[in-house]
Structure 1
């Protein structure tokens, strides 16, 4: 069983947004002519042998690219395959806290995701802090992006040190899942995962053959309980992300933890 912790159903509004134009160019993907059916996402999961996926909402300063209620509909249509990850309007902190609470308590979502590059605000900005406190109270992880950005936005907000380091210091009870491995600051991200019990890394947006050597070494050894699989579908298809997994040299325990068991524990999945 494999669990994908970072994916999103490719709605027209999402995949057609101007911010993803560089990614479409690099991956040679085109904007579809009509709304993609949810069956397309399930089929991509099947092709990659993904048993379960955490599908995310997307909110930015211009409003939702994928709204929380859209994600709730996707999950309701395929609850045995999907669970939701919330997103919120960072510029309205109290409304954001209430929306996060609704998503977890009423919709059954499993975490919160915010992308610092999309907001132009690093994760130690004061506007995130009420949401961190609410994540702790609700018992759900805060998920974010680390490393450089594919879209033409600043990469500075994705640097793990000092930004995510500050958050982990201020909120030792907060579970953090940092996606996109942190490249070119992967060793900074590994340092934080070693330093803080509740800080984790997910491998979304990277095929296994592109994992930095330091991350692979960490996954084989002391970090085997700290790294989770993510694809970043539809930008990277699950079967592409996992194609060269066997070349990493993970033993049976490390492989099982990476593909499913860490996700099951961190996101409190049955």
Structure 2
């Protein structure tokens, strides 16, 4: 990856369809999120090679992943192994993250080891609300041991989710699981684990800022919202105390990097901070170079 040639690095990109046409979410959640984000069709059916072409055209790189929440949803996930293998064919623009359902217990730990050692993933995505688990549940601690020991990044969905929004009962998805304060326990108990709190953490934005300020290896990505809706305190901290710990993320395909960047350009972000948010902080976090 020629980092110097990139204009940005998007740390939050979902693979929503496999090479064989399998969707990442069950039909009712897929259609519900399409209505919530007002996006469907071509944008949501891009395979990994098509995502690579999309980002290559924009001179960007992307961290890509799916979410394994089969125990809670009953829906088989897209294979993280498949995603990693396809990313290896597009290593100039794609960085693979994996996802394992923590409810699988020891099997999840064994699979995480294999994904690190055999498939070269650089991090793991967790969606506590979709997967119905608290991040500080001790059942996840053997999994975090693997991630910390192998230098992985743990990326946690935080705050409200568009998945299930507007459906009866929110599609059965409970927001309580994505309170970032539970991740504070993880950061305290695993001090060498690099952590990303994904999204503006509504309604817990101040908690996320406090955690990222207090815990040295906790970062915040700005995905899932158009920047024009960012709360003022998030912009203020991105400009100052957290300038080296805030990351560009779009939440593609439900929010495109084109839309995100256009709205971000209208924010009052200091000129010297912009390249840090768009690329430099993520390059450092992920340990990327020009190899």
Structure 2 length as normaliser, TM-score? 0.85
- Give the equivalent residue in structure 1 for 2:15: 9
SS of alignment partner, residue 265 of structure 2: helix
1:221 to 237, 240, 243: 240
1:158 to 161, 175, 178: 178
- Return 5+ residue gaps in structure 2 as ranges: 1-6, 164-169
Q: CA offsets per residue over residues 162-202 of structure 1, 9 Å max, x none?
A: x1122122222211101012112111100000111011110
CA shift for structure 1 position 124: 0.6
Instruction: Name the CA distance, whole Å, in 2 between partners of 1:205 and 1:97.
Output: 28
- Give the equivalent residue in structure 2 for 1:240: 259
Instruction: Name the CA distance, whole Å, in 2 between partners of 1:130 and 1:183.
Output: 29
- Give the equivalent residue in structure 2 for 1:56: 65
2:84 to 63, 68, 72: 72
Tell me the C-alpha RMSD between the 2 structures.
2.0
- Give the equivalent residue in structure 1 for 2:150: 138
SS of alignment partner, residue 188 of structure 1: helix
- Give the equivalent residue in structure 2 for 1:256: 275
CA shift for structure 1 position 70: 1.9
Which region of structure 1 is more displaced relative to structure 2, 215-224 or 146-155? Answer: 146-155
Instruction: Name the CA distance, whole Å, in 2 between partners of 1:179 and 1:216.
Output: 15
The question of whether the paired residues in 1 share the 8 Å contact of 2:14 and 2:65 is answered with: yes
CA shift for structure 1 position 59: 0.6
Instruction: Name the CA distance, whole Å, in 2 between partners of 1:178 and 1:50.
Output: 25
SS of alignment partner, residue 74 of structure 1: helix
CA shift for structure 1 position 77: 3.0
The question of whether the paired residues in 2 share the 8 Å contact of 1:117 and 1:155 is answered with: yes
Instruction: Name the CA distance, whole Å, in 2 between partners of 1:68 and 1:158.
Output: 22
Q: How many residues align?
A: 267
Instruction: Name the CA distance, whole Å, in 1 between partners of 2:55 and 2:151.
Output: 27
CA shift for structure 1 position 64: 4.0
CA shift for structure 1 position 20: 2.9
> Taking structure 1 as reference, are residues 28 and 251 closer, same or farther at Cα in structure 2, changes over 3 Å only?
closer
Instruction: Name the CA distance, whole Å, in 2 between partners of 1:42 and 1:82.
Output: 6
The question of whether the paired residues in 2 share the 8 Å contact of 1:16 and 1:31 is answered with: no
The question of whether the paired residues in 2 share the 8 Å contact of 1:7 and 1:53 is answered with: yes
The question of whether the paired residues in 2 share the 8 Å contact of 1:3 and 1:50 is answered with: no
2:113 to 101, 107, 111: 101
The question of whether the paired residues in 2 share the 8 Å contact of 1:44 and 1:238 is answered with: no
2:32 to 7, 15, 22: 22
Instruction: Name the CA distance, whole Å, in 2 between partners of 1:246 and 1:261.
Output: 17
Structure 1 length as normaliser, TM-score? 0.91
- Return 5+ residue gaps in structure 1 as ranges: none
